[in-house]
Amino acid sequence: MQTAFGLALGVVDELVTEVLQQVGMAEPPVDAVEVARGLGMDVRLHTGQQERGRLVHAGGWTVIVCRPEPRLERYQWTVAHEIGEYLMAQTADRWASELVVLDGAVREWLSNCFATHLLTPREWFLADARELDYDLTELKRRYVTASHEVIALRTLESDSPAVVTIFDNGKQTRRLGNLRYRVPDCSPAERTCRLLAHDAGAAQSQEIEGVRIRAWPLHEDEWKREIVRTEWFEGWID
């Protein structure tokens, strides 16, 4: 039986499909600013704003007000999130059930999900992920408005058993997987591949006993991140 979580994500996917059709977008990348404008909203920057984004309703207009962000992806995420907030209110009848109660926390979670699914629409993204062999660099070229983290974690929605680990300045900060059992601790082989990518400043790949480990470095002057994807070959894992 499908869980409330799964049902909610299904409705999010339906909304994303409807929105993209409404604004006439048929392929990636998705520009959240253009989506907002296609839905009749305006998007403006406010340098003095504390929060990343907010909705303002004035004179019959809905405006998404964002603070300036250093990265395109963060700006796109903020706009996509606010579109989600707007749609959660506009489509409340689709959520009014025993499964989902639209309190503040649930609405925030749904808006986050909407932002991810808008920038990486499920129907397009999972097909592209398989076609591009889950290569983070290639997927980022196609989904340029989504962050590397969003893209990497989104690949876990495929049927291919995998674990994604994120390291920031040498420290493991996230580790998620789509395995049927508990995600194992990060292995020495994964840490070695991460270190090779860190030192070389280039993507690395290793295959060990039915497992493929790939690591992609995302380095800036003051911040160094590596994203590691560990995959099990068919027949090596249930």
Number of separate domains in the chain: 2
Is there a contact between 210 and 236 (Cβ–Cβ < 8 Å)? yes
Among 107, 151, 50, 19, residue whose Cα is nearest residue 142? 151
CA distance 235 to 48: 55
As a whole number, the mean pLDDT across the chain is 89
Question: 136 in a domain, yes or no?
Answer: no
Interacting residues of 202 by C-beta distance below 8 A, sequence separation 6+? 217
- pLDDT, average across residues 30-38: 97
| Domain CATH number, residue 207 | 3.30.450
pLDDT tens digits along 112-147: 999 999 999 999 999 999 999 999 999 999 999 999
Residue 7 binned pLDDT confidence (cut-offs 50, 70, 90):
low
Q: 3-state DSSP helix/strand/coil percent for the chain, to nearest 5?
A: 45, 20, 35
Q: Are residues 112 and 8 part of one domain?
A: yes
Domain boundary among 97, 120, 143: 120
User: For residue 139, is it within any domain?
Assistant: no
Per residue in 184-203, pLDDT tens? 999 999 999 999 999 999 99
Class of residue 143 by CB neighbours under 10 A (exposed 0-12, middle 13-18, buried 19+):
buried
Determine, yes or no, domain membership for 9: yes
User: Which segment of 50-64, 72-86, 145-159, 179-193 scores lowest on mean pLDDT?
Assistant: 50-64
* Of 105, 120, 135, the domain-final residue: 120
Q: What is the CATH number of the domain that holds 64?
A: 1.10.10.2910
Whole-Å CA distances, 169 to 36, 72, 73, 77, 120 = 35, 22, 20, 23, 27
Q: Could you tell me which residues come within 8 angstroms of residue 4 by beta carbon, excluding any fewer than 6 positions away?
A: 99, 100
Residue 208 belongs to domain spanning? 160-238
CA nearest to 30, candidates 127, 155, 143: 143
Q: What confidence score (pLDDT) does residue 92 get?
A: 65
Confidence band for 26, pLDDT divided at 50, 70 and 90: very high
pLDDT, mean of residues 207-227:
94
pLDDT on residue 98? 43
Q: What is the pLDDT of residue 99?
A: 47
Choose between 61 and 238: higher pLDDT: 61
Residues 111 and 205 in one domain: no
Kindly tell me if the per-residue pLDDT of 211 is higher than 50: yes
By percentage, how much of the chain surpasses pLDDT 90?
Answer: 68
Q: Considering only CA atoms, which of 73, 81, 77, 78 is closest in space to residue 107?
A: 81
Percentage of the chain exceeding pLDDT 70? 89
Domain boundary among 120, 146, 172: 120
Q: Say if residue 52's pLDDT is above 90.
A: no
Helix, strand or coil, per DSSP, at residue 99: coil
Predicted confidence (pLDDT) at residue 157 exceeds the cutoff of 60: yes
Contacts of 102 (CB under 8 A, 6+ apart): 88, 92, 95, 96, 110
Whether 140 maps to a domain, the answer reads no
At 1, is the pLDDT very low, low, confident or very high (cuts 50, 70, 90)?
A: very low
